[in-house]
Structure 1
């Protein structure tokens, strides 16, 4: 089969993960048959479902950890801040830090 872009270059075939890919060695264009494209779409759906189920359980753990973090802060209370000096207040008024 000839490359649709280059027109005079013959496409090469390669097998990647059970999917046959036709590619042009000159322009590096890639062409798929309809069946090959369907395989890629199906695999993408499976990966997405797998990722979403894993992400959902991971989010639940994250919320639990977040709740524990807030509990810890309530137990220890808030940290006291150092009182600013009058000189730092004056410097702040003039925009210098």
Structure 2
């Protein structure tokens, strides 16, 4: 299939976590088939940490490391 934006470039396909993502290597546009966005949303909510409003905050500073989430992994080409 040709890229809807570039018109001349063929889309490439990647399978990421069981979701097939079509993308253009030229403009880096991403296209999803029916139901794939729902799968991404469902999996990203399963990966998110629970609401921590009831959890007591630690007193010493916490060093945050960059964590790769599902969305980052899906669209990292």
When normalised by structure 2's length, the TM-score is 0.63
Largest Rg, 1 or 2: 1
Mapped partners of 2:34, 2:44: distance in 1:
15
Tell me whether 1:3 sits opposite 2:3 in the alignment: yes
- Alignment coverage as a number of residue pairs: 59
Unmatched tracts of structure 1, length 5 or more: 67-97
**Which residue does 2:24 correspond to in 1?**
24
Q: CA-atom RMSD, angstroms?
A: 2.0
- Name the CA distance, whole Å, in 2 between partners of 1:17 and 1:56: 30
Deviation at 1:4, TM superposition (A): 0.6
Q: Which TM-score applies when normalising by structure 1?
A: 0.52
Q: 1:52 aligns to what? A: 50
Q: Secondary structure at the match of 1:52?
A: coil
Q: From the two aligned structures, give the one with the greater helix fraction.
A: 1
